[in-house]
Amino acid sequence: MAETTRLAVDSNVSLIVPVWNDCESLSELLQQIGTWKHKPREIIVAAADRDPKLDSLCRTHGCHLLLTRANRGAQLDHGARAANAAVLWFVHADASLPANGLEAINGALDEGADGGCFRFTFQGRRTWYKTLLSGLITLRIRSGGVAYGDQGLFVKREVYEVCGGFPHQPLFEEVRLVRSLRRRYRFCPLAAPIGVCTRRWERDGWWVRTLLNRWLALRYMLGASAERLSKAYHGRMDVRNEPEA
């Protein structure tokens, strides 16, 4: 039997990770967290599939494994409802987190923030187009735009509940929550960076993927359903977080 790594309770933050066929990425994420000086109170893995490897991985790292349906909004919401800490931090399994992430969150909360997000950066080798695109995203967020889930959203538990949490939909599940946070509470974009996986940009082309994301966001704002848009977003070669039939 694998030896279980016990997480030291160093904060009042529950880290919630939705996964579907993400066992390898989750393993890398948990190894990152294992090197931190301070740890979250708990890690909740909201999984859409039962996988013996995932079971073993969660036992090894002392995570709480929560089985739910294949719908990212539902996964995030069920994870939030199962959390025990006062602060909820939502992270994608393929993210690269800053080692001082918990300190950055606690610092923002101490200064009066009710929620916020991390600064968008791309993983891998730095290039001019990565720098340009991430800079434009940072400008959009700081100008009041919606921060999406790949930016490591965090929020006080009671604020999450007042704002209605994540709707159970497969795409743009964070829009309602972030808009409500910005409208009713103090939302703080942090300077600390989070590394976002470049897989879809590399597959589709950097400018094509960026323009497609903006086009889908516009269509969603104009009333298109998240279920329909999810198919265009994920593409034929990427079935993760597709809606249930």
- Those residues with Cβ within 8 angstroms of residue 236's Cβ, 6 or more apart along the chain or in another chain: none
Which residue has 């703080």 as its token pair?
188
pTM of the model: 0.90
The answer to the question of residue 206 being in a domain is: yes
Per-residue pLDDT of the chain (245 residues; tens, 9 = 90+): 333 344 444 579 999 999 998 899 999 999 999 999 999 999 999 999 888 999 999 999 999 999 999 999 999 999 999 999 999 999 999 999 999 999 999 999 999 999 999 999 999 999 999 999 999 999 999 999 999 999 999 999 999 999 999 999 999 999 999 999 999 999 999 999 999 999 999 999 999 999 999 999 999 999 999 988 988 777 643 434 433 32
Q: Are residues 119 and 66 in the same domain?
A: yes
| The pLDDT of residue 163 | 96
Q: Are residues 113 and 215 in the same domain?
A: no
The answer to the question of residue 152 being in a domain is: yes
Q: Are residues 75 and 151 in the same domain?
A: yes
Q: Are 146 and 108 in contact (CB under 8 A)?
A: no
- Angstrom distance (rounded) from CA 26 to CA 10: 21
Nearest residue to 51 via CA among 90, 25, 86, 78: 25
Query: In terms of C-beta density within 10 A (0-12 exposed, 13-18 middle, 19 or more buried), how is residue 187 classed?
Result: buried
Q: Are residues 86 and 185 in the same domain?
A: yes
CATH code: domain of residue 157: 3.90.550.10
| The pLDDT of residue 61 | 95
Using the 3D structure, point to which of 197, 214, 229 is the last residue of a domain: 197
Radius of gyration of the chain, Cα coordinates, nearest whole angstrom: 17
Q: Are residues 225 and 115 in the same domain?
A: no
Beta strands (DSSP E) in 135-186 are 154-156
| The pLDDT of residue 11 | 77
Domain count, the chain: 2
Q: Which domain holds residue 144?
A: 13-197
Q: Are residues 61 and 174 in the same domain?
A: yes
